[in-house]
A and B are shown apart, each in its own frame.
Chain A
Amino acid sequence: MSDIVTGQDQVRTAHPEQTPEAPATAELPMAKALNAGLRKALADDPKVLLMGEDIGPLGGVFRITEGLQAEFGPKRVIDTPLAESGIIGTAIGLAMRGYRPVVEIQFDGFIFPGFDQITTQLAKLTNRHEGTQAFPVVIRVPYGGHIGAVEHHQESPEAYFAHTPGLRLVSPSTPNDAYWMIQEAIRSNDPVMFFEPKSRYWPKGTVDFRASVAPLHSSRVVRTGTDVTVLGHGAMVSVLLQAAEIAEAEGASLEVVDLRSLSPIDYRPILESVQKTGRLVIASEAPGFASIPSEIAATVAEKAFYSLEAPVLRVTGFDAPFPPAKLETQYLPDADRVLEAVDRALAY
């Protein structure tokens, strides 16, 4: 497995929420915000465990767990053998024992050896137990492109899991959401898959340690507009905001919705936005066939048919394997591809 860390900020941050003179906010990259959120979860609940490959002394290939094993010990932050099915399967047993395992999958494309344990065991065990046993397992998955990596290191496998009843899926787009959402995911009594946009690990943002901005399973308008609603999650949100800036200069007003939760989907803000704009463009890095954008497009067509002025359009990765890194900019939706779809929507 590759040891890829791009654009990392090696400055060790203090952990302001744990010091007496803790400031209310801090400028942190998402990687450090996740680290702080995991530290808080470990400190708050002795049943929380971190498990994964290379998460101990190394701190994970993206350094998300940096320093945590030194602080909490090898019984709370567990370096595992190199076996994804084994990691998920033993996390299930630990959950039966009363622990709350937080599993790190090293890269998106390496989750599939654990697919069976996730979909046929973890997702179904609450149902099989008819409510007598909860399975509070969090599976952290660094996902997506824009990092120039080799095959299997830039994929967006969310839809496989969104299709599986029994799982919850969320994806933060900002350091602040990352800090809060990881803690909320760990507190959930259901299995939560936590998709981390690895291309957004290192840009800084303001983390407010006092309160989260929204519940875990809510979508949220992050920029208001009037002409077209554009929707996405994770790294795509920054692309949509960039597109909205460009569009504004060109005279079009985009409303940007951050999906945040991929399963369940919080439709209320989406439908309210579409009722206002009449147009919806959904963007995602994953291939578009049988995808989360497809699902949302179908639901919006059912529930907001009379509000729509144009067909719901999807801007996605192509239905081809994620390409070699030198071609990824042509594969991944960027602001121009989003704006091309916005223009088509406005042409109706």
Chain B
Amino acid sequence: MAEPRSAVQLLTPEGRLNTDGAAAEYLPYIDALDDDQLRQFYRDMVVVRRFDVEAANLQRQGEMGLWVPSMGQEAAQVGSAYATRAQDHIFPAYREHAIAMIRGVDLIDIIRMLRGLTHGGWDPKQRGNFHLYTLVIGSHALHATGFAMGIALDGDPTGDPDKDEATIVYFGDGATSQGDVSEAFVFAASYRTPQVFFLQNNHWAISVPVSVQSRTPLYQRSEGFGIPSVQIDGNDVLASFAVTKRNLDEARGGTGPRLIEALTYRMGAHTSSDDPTKYRSDAEVASWAERDPISRYETWLRSLGATDNFFENVKTEAEDFAADIRRRTLELPTPDPALMFDHVYSEPHPVTEEQKAWLADYEQSYGGDA
């Protein structure tokens, strides 16, 4: 077994830039960012965290059947999302709210799904190639791989990173135990797909710790399949950005697939139906709170000159965003029952047409207010 390597970290939990060792080779990616871009990372992490709190509250108030919190994983998501290019295709699991927002999904569409109004919510082609959430753990790893096989079949890379395409697929530590993820590694390696596997190791698959999923560090898993990998501090938005940028650009250029394991932590429950106090300690949660992705980044931005005024503005923006989500959630219309039938098939089908007509007649028979 390979000797474990240390995780790439550019920003320490205390908010200092790390210039040693592995970090040094990634710093040029950060140096290339201007102040506005750096501040955008902060803004998005804060807005999505506030959104997450608002959505969890809405669920508790009975406005959604379920909520899937992303709190604690903002750095892994925001950094990697900004590392993608416009032409890339993103295949999320179901907790990637920050990436959805950055790629252009209206987050009310995620609310619509968890409020029970749709199984999808958006057209990926109109929303930054951000594909639909997949609730069956790991299944979408194969879709991302097949899509990347299609990119490779369409033609060799041009060498222009602004044109060459890649896919990035997000999944968690629990998903690594699914056969579909291992099969995706096999297909990706065999066909040398332009693809990054982005593994958010948040340490818990609902109530089961990562030690039950794997006895080896998870980033080593893909190497056995011939997929080079790197482990990062997933609560460091700079590491997430720089390492994803490099690996995606290498993959799109034809090196074959890569895997990034981002070490992070799910600060909240798995979903609103979960009770994490039954399986993990307060001390563990507290230790991760000290490694919070937002507070360390705030410290660093202040060291670069950001003032209270900036942070107050972001806070106001986040409050406004949350209020807007709350207002729009309460206004969401219930879909027409015809929605059940309309897209079961893409071409006419006698059974769905007959049943759609029957349901309409049945509802009409007692005034349509069943």
A residues near B (Cβ < 8 Å) are 49, 75, 80-81, 83, 85-86, 88-99, 113, 116-117, 120-121, 124, 126-135, 165-166, 168, 188-190, 264
When distances are taken between beta carbons in the complex, the residues of chain B under 8 Å from A81 are: 183, 186-187, 190
Tell me which of B93-101, B200-208, B231-239, B346-354 binds A.
B346-354
Q: Is the CB of A116 within 8 A of B136?
A: yes
Structural contact, A126 and B345, CB atoms closer than 8 A: yes
**B183, A83: Cβ atoms under 8 Å?**
yes
Which of B150, B346, B350 is in CB contact (< 8 Å) with A126? Answer: B346
Cross-interface CB contact of A131 among B183, B186, B342, cutoff 8 Å: B342
Contact of B344 among A88, A127, A132, A133 (CB under 8 A): A127
> What is the 8 Å Cβ interface bit string for chain B, positions 133-148, against chain A (1 contact, 0 not)?
0101001011111111
Q: A93 and B183: CB pair below 8 A?
A: no
Binds A, one of B16-24, B119-127, B273-281: B119-127
Query: Which of A80, A86, A94, A165 is the one whose CB lies under 8 Å from B180?
Result: A86
Given contacts A120-B136, A133-B124, A264-B350, contact A91 B343 (CB under 8 A): no
Known A126-B345, A134-B346; contact A89-B145, beta-carbon cutoff 8 A = yes
Q: A83-B183, A132-B125, A264-B351 are in contact. Are A97 and B147 (CB under 8 A)?
A: yes
| Nearest-Cβ distance from residue A303 to partner chain B, whole angstroms | 12
Q: Is the CB of A93 within 8 A of B343?
A: no
Complex partner residue of B146 from A93, A129, A165, CB under 8 angstroms: A93
Complex: how many Å from CA A92 to CA B147?
8
On whether the beta carbons of B344 and A166 are closer than 8 Å, the reply is: yes
* Chain B residues, CB < 8 A from A124: 119
Smallest CB gap from B144: residue in A: A93
Cα of A113 to Cα of B180 in the assembled complex, Å: 10
Whole-angstrom CA separation of A86 from B141 in the bound complex: 10
- Among B124, B146, B179, B187, find the residue whose CB has the most chain A CB atoms closer than 10 A: B146
The answer on a CB contact under 8 Å between B132 and A85 is no
Which of A80, A121, A129 has most B Cβ within 10 Å?
A129
Q: B142–A92 contact, CB under 8 A?
A: yes
B2 within 8 A of A: no
Identify B142's interface contact among A49, A93, A166, CB under 8 A. A93
Instruction: Give bound CA distance, A127 to B120, whole Å.
Output: 8
Give me 8 A-to-B residue pairs in the complex whose CB atoms sit less than 8 angstroms apart, sorted by A's number. A81-B190, A88-B142, A89-B139, A93-B145, A96-B146, A126-B344, A127-B343, A135-B346
Closest residue of chain B to A83, judged by CB?
B183
Top 6 nearest A-B pairs by Cβ distance? A93-B146, A89-B142, A97-B150, A90-B146, A86-B183, A93-B147
- A80-B187, A264-B350 known; A130+B120 contact, CB < 8 A: yes
Residue of A nearest to B190 (CB): A81
- Whether the Cβ atoms of A166 and B345 lie closer than 8 Å is yes
User: CB distance B147 to A96 under 8 Å?
Assistant: yes
Number of A-B pairs, beta carbon distance below 8 Å: 132
Q: A81-B186, A166-B345, A189-B347 are in contact. Are A94 and B150 (CB under 8 A)?
A: yes
Whether B120 contacts A189 by the Cβ 8 Å rule is no
**CB proximity of A183 to chain B, nearest CB, Å:** 16
Measured between beta carbons, the chain A residues less than 8 angstroms from B213 are none
Complex interface: chain B residues within 8 A of A129 (CB): 120, 123-124, 132, 343
A89-B142, A94-B147, A133-B123 known; 14 new pairs, CB 8 Å cut-off, are A81-B190, A83-B187, A86-B183, A86-B184, A89-B145, A90-B143, A92-B146, A113-B179, A117-B142, A120-B136, A127-B120, A165-B344, A189-B346, A264-B350
Do A90 and B142 have beta carbons less than 8 Å apart? yes
Shortest distance from the beta carbon of A189 to any chain B beta carbon, whole Å: 5
Q: Which residues of B contact A134 (CB under 8 A)?
A: 346
- The yes or no answer to B118 lying at the interface (CB within 8 A) is yes
A130 to B126, CA, bound (A): 13
Binary CB contact string for chain B from 142 to 172 against chain A (1 if under 8 A, 0 otherwise): 1111111111011000000000000000000
Task: Point out the residues of chain B lying under 8 angstroms from A130, CB to CB.
Answer: 118, 120, 123, 339, 342-343
Residues of B within 8 A of A85 (CB): 142, 179-180, 183
For A93, the chain B residues whose CB sits under 8 A away are 142-150
Question: From residue B150, how far is it (CB to closest CB) to chain A in Å?
Answer: 3
B201 smallest CB distance to A (angstroms):
22
Contact of A117 among B139, B154, B350 (CB under 8 A): B139
For A124, the closest partner residue in chain B by CB is B119
Q: What's the Cα separation between A188 and B345 when bound, in Å?
A: 10
Would you call B351 and A127 a contact (CB within 8 A)? no
Q: Which residues of B contact A127 (CB under 8 A)?
A: 119-120, 343-344
How far does the alpha carbon of A126 sit from the alpha carbon of B141 in the complex, in Å? Answer: 18
Partner of A94, one of B149, B342, B346, B352: B149
- By the criterion CB–CB under 8 Å, are A128 and B347 in contact? no
Taking the closest CB of chain B, its distance from the CB of A292, in whole angstroms, is 14
Least CB distance, B328 to chain A, in whole angstroms: 19
Residues of B within 8 A of A80 (CB): 187
Are the C-beta atoms of A90 and B187 separated by less than 8 Å? yes
Give CA–CA (A167, B1) in the complex, Å: 45
For B119, give the chain A residue with the smallest CB separation.
A128
Contact A89 B183 (CB under 8 A): yes
Please indicate the chain B residues that have their CB under 8 angstroms from the CB of A90 in the complex: 142-143, 145-146, 149, 184, 187
* With A86-B187, A129-B132, A130-B120 as contacts: A96 and B344 at CB distance below 8 Å: no
Q: Are B349 and A264 in contact (CB under 8 A)?
A: yes
Q: Give B132's nearest chain A residue, CB to CB.
A: A128
Measured between C-beta atoms, what is the minimum distance from B184 to chain A in Å? 7
Residues of A within 8 A of B136 (CB): 116, 120-121
Contacts of B350 in A (CB 8 A): 264
Q: Which chain A residues border B124 with CB–CB below 8 Å?
A: 129, 132-133
For A92, the chain B residues whose CB sits under 8 A away are 142-143, 146
Q: A83-B183, A99-B153, A264-B349 are in contact. Are A89 and B343 (CB under 8 A)?
A: no
For residues 102 through 139 of chain B, which have their beta carbon under 8 Å from a beta carbon of chain A? Answer: 118-120, 123-126, 131-132, 134, 136, 139
- B333-370 contacts to A (CB < 8 Å): 339, 342-347, 349-352
Which of A93, A116, A131, A188 has the largest number of chain B CB atoms within 10 A?
A93
Residues of chain B within 8 A of A96, CB atoms compared: 131, 143, 146-147, 150
